[in-house]
Amino acid sequence: MNDSALEAIRTLIDARGLKDGDMLPPERELSEALGLSRRALRDALGFMEGNAEIWRGVGRGTFLGTRPVKFGRGIEILTDNTSPADIAELRLALEPTIAELAAVKATAEDLEELDNCVRKHAATRDDETWRKWDHRFHYLIAKSTRNPAIIALVEAINVVRGRPGSRARLSDADMRRNYGLQHREVFDAIAARDPDRAREAMRSHLSQVQALLRG
């Protein structure tokens, strides 16, 4: 992480008196105002999003604070009345197909952001930050589909996954490392534009997640 880029963004936020819910300037404007490369800027914004300092909505912009949960009644039922096992089953039914679609539709910029996320995820040692990068990885795959319904659904799933009672125990460093390798396999398949491989890599990954929750 480029600490100077992170500090520059936070200094601009303070200088402009921005608060939770306010929108940040577009990336191009931020890059020019702060004298940062787009890569350094995206890296810093990705870190901030992973730490719930900002949230980004497709076609809406980048906002300070945590992502508001503004979904319809169907999603309220999802968040209120589902167990971790239910969510794992839902993810296994949906996310392999989402990865398959991402392999077809992801742009070069999407792949760059996903690759950075995989690297950050693999380098993380504490559970809380590890979870944030994990959630971001699955969100970015959904974002790569350019399908607002898919993106909203994965966002809702991440909200449920973030509840304390829905978290699998990941204190084992070997387990975290193994999941990191699985994320790399999914990414490599998407980057190779191989939908079948992407689908099966995600299916294998989520099957292990489901087994862990059941255990």
Tell me where in the chain the CATH 1.20.120.530 domain(s) lie.
73-214
- Under DSSP, is residue 128 helix (H, G, I), strand (E, B) or coil? helix
Chain center to CA of 48 = 12
169-202: pLDDT as tens digits: 555 778 888 999 999 999 999 999 999 999 999 9
Between 161 and 137, name the one with better pLDDT: 137
Query: With pLDDT > 90 as the criterion, what percentage of the chain qualifies?
Result: 42
Tell me where in the chain the CATH 1.10.10.10 domain(s) lie.
3-64
116-127: pLDDT as tens digits: 899 988 888 877
Sequence-separated contacts (24+) of 12-17 with Cβ below 8 Å: 13/64
Distance CA 12, CA 172 (A): 39
pLDDT of amino acid 72: 43
14-66: pLDDT as tens digits: 999 998 889 999 988 999 999 999 888 888 888 888 777 888 876 678 999 87
Instruction: Please state the pTM of the whole predicted model.
Output: 0.71
Which range (78-82, 195-199, 209-213) has the least confidence? 78-82
Could you tell me the two tokens for 106?
Answer: 């992801």
> Is 73-214 in CATH node 1.20.120.530?
yes
Helices of type H across the chain: 3-15, 27-34, 38-50, 73-81, 84-105, 108-123, 127-144, 148-161, 173-191, 195-214
> Is 3-64 in CATH node 1.10.3720.10?
no
